[in-house]
Amino acid sequence: MTSDPAVSRDGARTFAHVLVNTLVANVTTSFLWFALTFWVYLETRSVLATGVVGGAYMLMLALFAMLFGTLVDRHRKRDVLVGSSLATAASFLVAGMLYAVLGPGAIVDMTGPWFWLFSGIVLFGSVVESLRNIALSTLVTLLIPADRRDRANGLVGTVQGLAFIVTSVFSGLAIGQLGMGWTLVIANVLTVCTVVHLLFVRIAEEQPAADADGKRPTVDVRGALAAIALVPGLFALIILTTFNNLVSGVFIALVDPYGLTLFTVEEWGLVFGVASTGFIAGGLVIARWGLGANPLRTMLWVLAAMGVINATFTLRESAWLCIAGIWLFLLIVPAVEAAEQTVIQRVVPFASQGRVFGFAQAFEAAAAPVTAFLVAPIAEFWVIPMMETESGAQRWAWLVGYGDARGIALIFFFAGLVMVVISLAAFGTRSYRVLSDRYRDDAESGVTAG
Domain ranges, residue 55: 7-201+221-445
Domain membership of residue 384 (yes or no) is yes
Residue whose C-alpha is closest to residue 161's, from 309, 276, 322:
276
Give the pLDDT confidence score for residue 7 in this predicted structure: 45
When pLDDT is cut at 50, 70 and 90, the band that residue 11 belongs to is confident
Give the pLDDT confidence score for residue 168 in this predicted structure: 64
Domain membership of residue 407 (yes or no) is yes
Lowest-pLDDT choice from 138-152, 280-294, 301-315, 360-374: 360-374
Looking at per-residue confidence, does 283 or 210 come out higher?
A: 283
When pLDDT is cut at 50, 70 and 90, the band that residue 319 belongs to is confident
Domain membership of residue 48 (yes or no) is yes
Residue whose C-alpha is closest to residue 159's, from 335, 284, 328:
284
Q: Is the pLDDT score of 357 beyond 90?
A: no
**Whole-structure pTM over 0.85, yes or no?**
no
Give the pLDDT confidence score for residue 308 in this predicted structure: 92
Lowest-pLDDT choice from 26-30, 349-353, 367-371: 367-371
**pLDDT tens digits, one per residue of 419-434:** 898 888 888 888 888 8
Q: Is the pLDDT score of 8 beyond 60?
A: no
**Rounded distance, CA 237 to CA 239, Å?**
5
**What mean pLDDT is predicted for residues 19-38?**
84
Give the pLDDT confidence score for residue 235 in this predicted structure: 82
When pLDDT is cut at 50, 70 and 90, the band that residue 260 belongs to is confident
Q: Is the pLDDT score of 213 beyond 60?
A: no
Domain membership of residue 215 (yes or no) is no
Q: Is the pLDDT score of 189 beyond 70?
A: yes
User: Would you call 445 exposed, middle or buried from its count of C-beta atoms within 10 A (0-12, 13-18, 19+)?
Assistant: exposed
Percent of the residues in the chain that have a pLDDT greater than 90, as a whole number = 6
CA–CA distances in Å: residue 280 to residues 62, 131, 292, 377: 26, 22, 19, 33
Domain membership of residue 216 (yes or no) is no
**What mean pLDDT is predicted for residues 391-407?**
83
The CATH number that applies at residue 332 is: 1.20.1250.20
Q: Is the pLDDT score of 6 beyond 50?
A: no
Lowest-pLDDT choice from 57-61, 186-190, 246-250: 246-250
Domain membership of residue 209 (yes or no) is no
When pLDDT is cut at 50, 70 and 90, the band that residue 228 belongs to is confident
Give the pLDDT confidence score for residue 248 in this predicted structure: 66
Give the pLDDT confidence score for residue 90 in this predicted structure: 93
Q: What is the mean pLDDT of the chain?
A: 81
Q: Is the pLDDT score of 446 beyond 70?
A: no
Give the pLDDT confidence score for residue 368 in this predicted structure: 64
- Residues contacting 123, CB < 8 A, separation 6+: 33, 53, 56, 57, 60
Domain membership of residue 414 (yes or no) is yes
When pLDDT is cut at 50, 70 and 90, the band that residue 36 belongs to is confident
Q: Is the pLDDT score of 444 beyond 70?
A: no
Q: Long-range contacts of range 327-331, CB-CB < 8 Å, 24 or more positions apart?
A: 327/274, 327/275, 327/277, 327/278, 328/278, 329/278, 330/161, 330/164, 330/275, 330/276, 330/278, 330/279, 330/282, 331/278, 331/279, 331/281, 331/282
- Total domain count, the chain: 1
Domain membership of residue 397 (yes or no) is yes
Q: How many CB atoms lie within 10 A of CB 386?
A: 16
Give the pLDDT confidence score for residue 48 in this predicted structure: 66
**pLDDT tens digits, one per residue of 69-126:** 888 888 888 899 999 999 999 999 999 999 888 887 777 777 778 888 888 898 888 8
